């Protein structure tokens, strides 16, 4: 368990908080490119890391991310006109370019003289893999975008979707690194093929008590769940946790992997970017059918909201639960959210939990995050991961190894491009 003080440090992400300052040292996905596709198209509200912002794509295709409110009378720029390489406030006509610089003040005689003195808070952006990323930290500390393998390959090798989760970012992220829950939450009870995980995790479903081997790395943590396979072999499910919010979830080497990015909207809500990715070949029709029925939850076409939600108890089917699946909830995402969105409330009090050896990965990730946030806040030590962009090209894997083989050495070939 954590002390109440460390729990507060972990979950609070707004401006000026230790964890919020740590997050701002990294490039953070904020939107799907399709949400802001057209030059001079409608502005988009962005709420991330406790800040309310507005994004727009200008006439030349550049993306601006600005303070929501006009410098003049603090009107909301979401209602602004996106025109001729700038966002114009509809209250009094003040206009800003993608850097936040005021470029026109048409309602005052002195406007041409003073416009150069006025600049809104703004953050640099870039696009990668159909996603808009922002850097919200000190300008002189801006790093390179990490070389994520999943976001570097051809677009037909992946699917990426975005959802909103009504819970703190840390508790939903901790579900990603908790390997022991897959043998329960995502399992079947009727002996049929486990459609939730296909045949990917057959070995993991046999031994229900994983032992954890964790390794500190340049990018974050290697998290190996060791299970008994036979008298001569262990079976390893090796996930990768990439500082500060990304988890690569293992599958056999010929199957697509799942990538989870958990970006705090504020202290009680989270953006979930979920990717289904195969490095070796384009996603097949079978892969896409599987992802659209299992990996990604069903959404309402009009609103984009998940049909399985807290308000309807994630459409749990008690007959299904009694006779076929362990949870009675259809999609993998909804199964996870049923456990984490109301995990002792939207912000989980970790001082009240009871951890066991099955929680080794969670302990290791909390230690890394809290230690990094404290080091930055109290000593000014920048997170070293931002200087290791190339190391983020790592992959997860599932692998059987002789019991005497070191997991990191034995799995290295499967985990690196």
Fold agreement (32-141, 155-415): no
CA-closest candidate to residue 241, choices 79, 392, 130: 392
- Is the CB of residue 55 less than 8 Å from the CB of residue 31? yes
Alpha helices by DSSP H, 267-398? 285-290, 318-323, 332-340, 360-379
**CB contact set of 251 (below 8 Å; sequence gap of 6+):** 200, 257, 258, 396, 398
Handedness of CA 162, 126, 376, 244 (dihedral sign): positive
Gap between the Cα atoms of 40 and 106, Å rounded: 20
Secondary structure, 3-state, 256-282: CEEEEEEEEEECCEEEEEEEEECCCCC
11 token code pair: 């979950």
CATH number of the structural domain 155-415: 3.90.380.10
Gap between the Cα atoms of 148 and 196, Å rounded: 26
- Is the CB of residue 295 less than 8 Å from the CB of residue 277? no
**CB contact set of 330 (below 8 Å; sequence gap of 6+):** 297, 298, 308, 315, 317
Q: Where are the domains of the chain?
A: 32-141, 155-415
Distance of CA 18 to the CA centre of its chain: 19
pLDDT per 10-residue tile (average), the chain, 417 residues: 94 97 98 96 98 98 98 98 98 98 97 97 97 97 94 92 94 91 86 54 67 94 91 91 95 84 96 92 91 84 84 95 92 91 87 91 96 97 96 90 82 64
CATH number belonging to the domain at 32-141, selected among 3.40.50.261, 3.40.50.2000, 3.30.43.10, 2.102.10.10: 2.102.10.10
Question: Could you identify the residue written with the tokens 């490119």?
Answer: 33
Gap between the Cα atoms of 305 and 298, Å rounded: 9
Say how many CA atoms lie within 13 Å of 77 toward its Cβ. Answer: 34
Question: Could you identify the residue written with the tokens 């992400």?
Answer: 13
120 token code pair: 């809104």
Question: Could you identify the residue written with the tokens 């999943």?
Answer: 150
């Amino acid at each position: 368990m954590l002390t109440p003080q460390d729990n507060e440090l972990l979950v609070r992400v707004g401006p000026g908080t230790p964890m919020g300052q740590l997050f701002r040292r990294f490039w953070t996905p904020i939107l799907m490119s399709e949400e802001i596709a057209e030059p001079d198209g409608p502005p988009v509200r962005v709420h991330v890391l406790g800040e309310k912002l507005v994004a727009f794509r200008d006439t030349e295709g550049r993306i601006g991310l600005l303070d929501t409110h006009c410098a003049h009378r603090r009107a909301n720029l979401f209602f602004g006109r996106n025109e001729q390489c700038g966002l114009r406030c509809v209250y009094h006509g003040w206009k800003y370019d993608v850097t936040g610089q005021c470029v026109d003040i048409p309602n005052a005689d002195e406007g041409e003289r003073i416009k150069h003195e006025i600049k809104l808070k703004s953050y640099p952006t870039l696009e990668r893999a159909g996603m808009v990323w922002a850097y919200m930290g000190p300008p002189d500390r801006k790093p390179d975008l990490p070389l994520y393998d999943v976001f570097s390959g051809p677009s037909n090798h992946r699917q990426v979707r975005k959802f909103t989760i009504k819970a703190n970012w840390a508790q939903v992220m901790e579900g990603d690194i908790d390997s022991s829950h897959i043998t329960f939450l995502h399992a079947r009870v009727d002996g049929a093929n486990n459609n939730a995980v296909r045949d990917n995790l057959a070995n993991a479903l046999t031994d229900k008590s994983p032992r954890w081997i964790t390794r500190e790395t340049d990018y974050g943590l290697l998290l190996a769940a060791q299970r008994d396979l036979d008298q001569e072999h262990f079976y390893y499910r090796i996930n990768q946790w990439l500082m500060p919010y990304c988890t690569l979830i293992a599958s056999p080497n010929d199957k697509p992997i799942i990538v989870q990015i958990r970006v705090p909207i504020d202290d009680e809500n989270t953006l979930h970017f979920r990717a289904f990715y195969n490095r070796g070949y384009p996603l097949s029709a079978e892969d896409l059918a599987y992802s659209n029925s299992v990996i990604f939850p069903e959404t309402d076409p009009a609103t984009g909201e998940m049909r399985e939600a807290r308000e309807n108890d994630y459409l749990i089917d008690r007959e299904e639960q009694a006779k076929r699946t362990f949870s009675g909830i259809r999609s993998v995402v909804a199964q996870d959210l049923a456990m984490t969105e109301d995990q002792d409330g939207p912000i989980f009090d970790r001082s009240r939990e009871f951890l066991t050896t099955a929680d080794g990965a969670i302990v290791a990730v909390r230690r890394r995050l809290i230690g990094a946030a404290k080091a930055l806040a109290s000593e000014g030590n920048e997170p070293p991961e931002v200087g290791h962009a190339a190391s983020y090209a790592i992959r997860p894997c599932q692998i059987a190894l002789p019991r005497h083989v070191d997991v990191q050495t034995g799995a290295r070939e499967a985990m690196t491009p």
